[in-house]
Structure 1
Amino acid sequence: MHKLSVMAVAAALLAGCTMAPWYHRPAAPVSQTFPEGGVYATQPGQPGGVPNGRSANGAAATDIGWRDFFVDQRLQQLVEIALKNNRDLRVSVLNVEAVRAQYEITRAELFPSIDATGTESRTRVPRDLQTSPRNPVSIYNVGLQASWEIDFWGRIRSLKDQALAQYLATAEARKAAEISLVSQVADQYLTMLADDDLLTITQNTLKTAQDSYNITKVQFDNGTGTELDLRQAQTVVETAQANLQAQMRARAQAENALVLLIGEPLPADLTQGQSLDSQDLLTDIPAGLPSDLLTRRPDIMEAEQQLLAANANIGAARAAFFPKISLTAALGTESLSLGGLFKAGTAAWSFAPQITMPIFEGGANIANLKLANVEKRIEIANYEKAIQSAFREVADGLAARGTYDQQIAALERNTFANQRRLDLSDLRYKNGVDSYLPVLTAQTDLYSSQQTLIQTRLARLTNLVDLYRALGGGWIEHAGETPRPADAPVDYGAASAPVAASAAKAG
């Protein structure tokens, strides 16, 4: 009895183990903390930081819903439309379903397969070998056939673990795609607002330049002005006219890009949006520690799942060196006539265990094991690169967040100075104190400083959006919500249901 118990335990252990290497998560190849000092020392919410925008009140990016991060209702509406209609996101959801089906196919190999069969065989035997008066002979058979490979060495289980890891990696990729889409819609919307502002200042500059040109032309026609002044005024008009066309083109293309992201034309009933200056984004989301990115960033979790898949594949490659044991059985009835299939005495069965031991494979098994080990090293490098890229994105965002406020303040003072300079130069010109050249120079510099100010404001806002994404924000809609599984579609009428948890449980 004791021996039987030991054998049962051993069989259970053999059926449940694999030959995959013990997995150890590689150490993160980055510093333990994000950069500090210098440009990083003036973060919002810290001593020396410039308060400019709403506060996150210490909440991590993953705990902040995108409706809480963005206050512009028009932008919120566009994000909601994109989450329902974006075609790339739909492909990501379908990829998850496809890989889940592949996982279920692989997992099914762990269980016996049972088939119902019905056959008829008709055989003619040569006369010299004939032992029955009936020639040819028909044999009818109806029954069940079962086959099962006993997974002693864990080959199938390793393949199942590999398929599960690939499924979870695809689910994380789908989560990364949704988070990225939220930030892309926001960035493109802000770009469109910036193009609107650039169009406005270009139109204003063109109007001012046209008025100055008209006055200068009248003076030239009356003989009180020079052609030099006239041509200088004309250069400002033509430059502004050319810029206006460029800005109109950029504005139209920005809207086209936004339409592509949301997956439908801009609805006519969109709520009134806010201007670029009024976009009140959360500014002081804490960065935490680099190790936090391992659980916040879906792209890092995707890379680790790919590493786990490669690790499991080594187990399958190792198991290929050992015998395969399979059982085949059949049970049914057999008769020389259809009418006699279910009569007494027609029962038939067969049982055929088989063991296959690889002896010579031309080096294929050795090469497969080498390939599996190389692929694991590749995935380790990809995992480490994902961490390094995430660290760099966050560090870049922190460096930008610590400098944009002061840069914008300086640009605003510079724009004011240029406006005042233009007013004084124009006054001196009209009073005959100076030539038209200082007016031309001041007008050009003012226009340039206004453009730079708008572009820098846009860069500040898009940096905040991208930092929110880099820290893992954008997966939940409202703060306080329970995050969905990685493979769960956004709940805006989507038909698919969460399946990641059930797949992991089944594994």
Structure 2
Amino acid sequence: MRRAAGKMMRKPALPLLALVLPAALGACSMAPDYARPEAPVPPAWPVGEAYPVEGEASLPSVSYTELFRDQRLQSLIGQALANNRDLRLAAANLAAARAQVRVTRAAQFPELSVRASADVRDNGGTSGESYALQGGISSFELDLFGRLANATAAQRERALASEASARSVRLSLVASLASAWATYAADRDLLAVAEDSAANARRSVELTRSRLQGGIAPRSDLRQAEQILATAEGDLAAQKAALAEDINLLRLLVGAEIDPALLPSSLAEVLGSVETLPAGTSSTVLLRRPDVAQAEYLLRAANADIGVARARLFPQISLTGLLGFASDALGSLFDSGAFAASAGADASYAIFSGGGRSAGVDVSEANRDAALATYEKAIQSAFREVADALATKGTIADRLSAARMNTEAAADTANLTELRYRGGVDSFLANLVAQRSLYTARRQEVAIQLIAVQNRIELYRVLGGDAELGQSAFTLPE
């Protein structure tokens, strides 16, 4: 009897399997074949007087630890990668995107359900009982035209785009932190310049007051000297505020308190600890930038969405199946006579939808065209950023040399002019102009040194940084 019951359980499932397997194997995709678009930029970087001559054909794979060699900066970057809230937000968004892939993919599989019930009745001497155990498949859609498969593919590409976005956040964090660290060093140098300027202004006030008391200088010279002192002290206060703001920014980027021992003391030591990243000659390295990769993943997702929209133009076929046992006595629930099974199929097709479904295809194709334009613009913007950074790289050495020469000449002029003023040869106005020129020249040299450091950091960012940056934390599993 048990063997006969087993045969009765298997037979109703055979027609269902006969429908499901060929349908699943014969499913097709209505999505267009994807091919990576040609990059709408020149194959090589610009050349000319403003650009450096790159000897390497391609960009080597380097990590930020190879580029930023100062252990203090590396320590801060490590803390930021562990604590920064923007990075945590990106990781949470990626986790949600990964989970959404599983949610979408679940629609491709049948949902199996089990239900058990027991009913015992006693009505004034009339009693009865019934028991049932049922399992089945409710409305399993046969994906004949790839609607569900393309929906899963689109969601997966969006999850990969979220991964690329997280890598962009990580790359931007490293570059922003290095830039803020260098800016702090520059502001310390500017603070030293302001302190020297204020000290010179105080000496000038004392000298002019002595000359006024001796009847050598007019009162207007003293008032001008006092004006210069007030300006210098104002600049000194502003630089102290700038340093405090730099530390606040570093604290925000790191996501924790900053150890003062990890801060640089001068811009010169920062400039010596940041390596220059060679850009190579080929612009194909742009494809490894996370923002470009993100745009391409979204383009691939839009391409898969076309398949989803096209599949909606065709009928939807769903299968249902139910099998189980029902009996008036618990002891006979699994007897062969208590077994029952049923299977069914349902096909639906909208004869008239007011053009809504065909319009859905048009919408998906328009979205794909928009994603294509976004992808191409991302490459063009990346090319422009690299070209700008290379133009700065090719000319920054000359600017630094000119700034140093200017500072040396201004310092010598200020020294000579002050000696001539003390000797009564030059006027106070000439001495004042010389001091102002020296102050401006020193600040300008610091500014250009900062540009040189930030240019190296910017090249790291615009070239995509480390190609493997964040892979262990953000890679989407198959």
- TM-score scaled to structure 1, two decimals? 0.84
Partner of 2:135 in structure 1?
Answer: 144
More helix by share: 2
The answer to whether residue 369 in structure 2 is matched with residue 368 in structure 1 is no
Partner of 2:3 in structure 1?
Answer: none
The answer to whether residue 93 in structure 2 is matched with residue 95 in structure 1 is yes
Partner of 2:8 in structure 1?
Answer: none
The one-letter amino acid of 2:278's match is I
1:293 to 283, 286, 292: 286
The one-letter amino acid of 2:444's match is T
Give runs of aligned pairs for residues 216-255 of structure 1, distance below 5 A: 216-255=208-247
Percent of matched pairs sharing the same residue: 37
2:26 to 9, 14, 35: 14
2:420 to 421, 428, 448: 428
1:39 to 40, 50, 55: 50
Q: Secondary structure, in 3 states, of the residue corresponding to 2:321?
A: strand
CA deviation after TM superposition for structure 1 residue 344, in Å: 5.1
Partner of 1:83 in structure 2?
Answer: 81
Most deviating of 272-281 and 371-380: 272-281
Cα distance in 2 for partners of 1:426, 1:435 equals 9
Q: Secondary structure, in 3 states, of the residue corresponding to 1:352?
A: strand
The one-letter amino acid of 2:303's match is N
The CA RMSD measured in Å over matched residues stands at: 2.6
The answer to whether residue 384 in structure 2 is matched with residue 385 in structure 1 is no
Give runs of aligned pairs for residues 325-474 of structure 1, distance below 5 A: 325-336=317-328, 341-342=333-334, 345-474=337-466
Q: Secondary structure, in 3 states, of the residue corresponding to 2:31?
A: coil
Q: Secondary structure, in 3 states, of the residue corresponding to 1:145?
A: strand
Residues 440 and 138 of structure 1: CA distance in aligned 2, closer, same or farther (over 3 Å): farther
Give runs of aligned pairs for residues 200-219 of structure 1, distance below 5 A: 200-219=192-211
2:41 to 30, 43, 46: 30
Residues 159 and 284 of structure 1: CA distance in aligned 2, closer, same or farther (over 3 Å): closer
Cα distance in 2 for partners of 1:317, 1:427 equals 84
Most deviating of 419-428 and 353-362: 353-362
- Count of residues in correspondence between the two structures: 454
Cα distance in 1 for partners of 2:240, 2:265 equals 20
CA deviation after TM superposition for structure 1 residue 342, in Å: 4.2
CA deviation after TM superposition for structure 1 residue 404, in Å: 1.0
The one-letter amino acid of 1:316's match is V
The one-letter amino acid of 1:423's match is N
Cα distance in 1 for partners of 2:23, 2:340 equals 30
Cα distance in 2 for partners of 1:401, 1:393 equals 12
Partners of 1:72 and 1:274 within 8 A in 2: no
CA deviation after TM superposition for structure 1 residue 337, in Å: 6.4
CA deviation after TM superposition for structure 1 residue 485, in Å: 6.9
1:264 to 226, 246, 256: 256
Cα distance in 2 for partners of 1:388, 1:135 equals 84
Cα distance in 2 for partners of 1:218, 1:72 equals 49
Cα distance in 2 for partners of 1:454, 1:419 equals 15
1:283 to 252, 276, 280: 276
Cα distance in 2 for partners of 1:445, 1:71 equals 35
Q: Deviations over 1:238-269 (max 9, x none)?
A: 1111111111111111111111000001025x
The one-letter amino acid of 1:31's match is P
CA deviation after TM superposition for structure 1 residue 349, in Å: 1.6
Cα distance in 2 for partners of 1:195, 1:59 equals 38
Q: Secondary structure, in 3 states, of the residue corresponding to 1:359?
A: coil
Cα distance in 1 for partners of 2:151, 2:225 equals 75
Cα distance in 2 for partners of 1:351, 1:8 equals 12
Partner of 2:4 in structure 1?
Answer: none
Q: Deviations over 1:96-131 (max 9, x none)?
A: 1110100011112111111111357999xxxxxxxx
Partners of 2:277 and 2:460 within 8 A in 1: no
CA deviation after TM superposition for structure 1 residue 70, in Å: 1.0
Cα distance in 1 for partners of 2:431, 2:21 equals 94
Partner of 1:127 in structure 2?
Answer: none
Most deviating of 312-321 and 109-118: 109-118
Partner of 2:63 in structure 1?
Answer: 65
The one-letter amino acid of 2:31's match is A
Q: Secondary structure, in 3 states, of the residue corresponding to 1:63?
A: coil
Residues 67 and 29 of structure 1: CA distance in aligned 2, closer, same or farther (over 3 Å): same
CA deviation after TM superposition for structure 1 residue 226, in Å: 1.0
Unaligned runs of 5+ in 2: 1-18
Cα distance in 2 for partners of 1:437, 1:248 equals 29
Partner of 2:13 in structure 1?
Answer: none
Partner of 1:116 in structure 2?
Answer: 114
Q: Deviations over 1:287-326 (max 9, x none)?
A: 33112211x2111111011000000000010000111111
Cα distance in 2 for partners of 1:139, 1:364 equals 49
Partners of 2:30 and 2:146 within 8 A in 1: yes
Partners of 2:137 and 2:320 within 8 A in 1: yes
Residues 77 and 484 of structure 1: CA distance in aligned 2, closer, same or farther (over 3 Å): closer
